[in-house]
Structure 1
Amino acid sequence: MATLGIALVVSLASLAMGQTFQNGIGSFGGLPGIGGFRSGFGSGAFFGNGAALFGAFFNTTITCAGSTTGFSGVATLRRSQVFFGPWWARRQTLGGSFVFLTTTASGTFLLVANERADVERGCSSDRMGPVIQRFSPRFFSNTRPGVIADVTLEQNRNITLDVASINMPFDVLERYAGIGFSLCTGLTNDVFGRQVCVDPIFACCKLGYNNKEAVLLPIP
């Protein structure tokens, strides 16, 4: 009975206090020179936090949203499933979507994840950093390990990508906080042999914690 009482007290304390994540910011930017883009930079910011209880997480998403001249895009990532059980049986899956809309550009771009996201100064390979190539085991057969998806943009048409059906680098939501996404025209290697986007980058995004899904902003 004493052991049961201690366990109940610990559980109630955890429920009351929870665990809080650091606030994050999501923003989206782009560079001129492709598909009729002109100079301009837009960003959207969202603030939120999540709570942890017994190793499972609730009500937390990671997003970015913003617009530049002729373009608007959003990303929403969320936990789609958490298995309650022993620690060795818990598994988290990732859900969400990317949505893109352009009034000026057309063509196919590469959606990639980047190790950095210095989007406040614009989109370039040195500000976004190397492409992340650590993909989950089910994608080991991918012949382009740095590419999440091919994105074919058409003028005045919404393009939506389901996160569950593309090659996301991680299954764990927290690993996306603070990293970047880019729409690149191609990939190359930097002086250290790391894979990076070819400049100029069409658009880029910094991910941050949120408590709701991102919404497309009006196109400037």
Structure 2
Amino acid sequence: MRFMMMHKHDPKTEAGEKPDMKLVHEMGAFVGGFAKAGKLIDGAGLGASKTRTRLTFKDGRSTIKHGPYTGENELPAAALLLKVKTREEAIGWAERYGKILGDGEIELGKVTEPWDLGLVPEPKDAPLQLLLIEKANAKGERTSKQKADVTRLKTEMTKAGVLLRGVALQPASSAKRLFFVNNDMRMVDGPFTESKELIGGFAVLELSGVDEAIEVSRKYVAILGGTVEIDLRVVDTDPE
């Protein structure tokens, strides 16, 4: 069973503070263990809201807002990892994607790279990697035309070298929201109508089931400091 484990944004990240190297190395070892076991499907951290762009679609038009900003509708339905030369290029793809789906919201968040953490020097001509987050809404399932149009656009993006990979999520009715304070956990079952906290990062893991996902979340949170909000979402392995 495949899960996306998302931790929420925190004030230190929003302030642009680099994480402690102890945390970086512990998280690297944690994620590396799943990679060696063949259970790590994907994962990334996201930067402060000043590195993000929100696109809102209404009646065929899009409104673009660059960060910094606070969270609004932060309940994702899907996420696509893009590699582009400029943010403007990513916005162009996001506008095409969003206009297929109609009224709704998309966020583009810069992925945290090793050089952002001070682990290695930034390479010359380093590509810009952004996570395109499609926000969930009340419209429900896509129409057949929308599915076909999104598939064609994704194919075009892949051929252009822009779309690296993507993940679709099952509805929030199958989700768990975990609130940790000093490593003590309180759990709420989905569905959730919304989340106001920006996504700080995620990992997609192949696990045996919900119980293992919760246990992994405990270890994940302990590395992050013990006080954080986690959303556990089931990945849709057959979205179309």
Query: When the two structures are superposed, what TM-score results if normalisation uses the length of structure 1?
Result: 0.27
More helix by share: 2
Q: Is the radius of gyration larger for structure 1 or structure 2?
A: 1
Higher relative CO (Cα under 8 Å, sequence separation at least 6) belongs to 2
Query: When the two structures are superposed, what TM-score results if normalisation uses the length of structure 2?
Result: 0.25
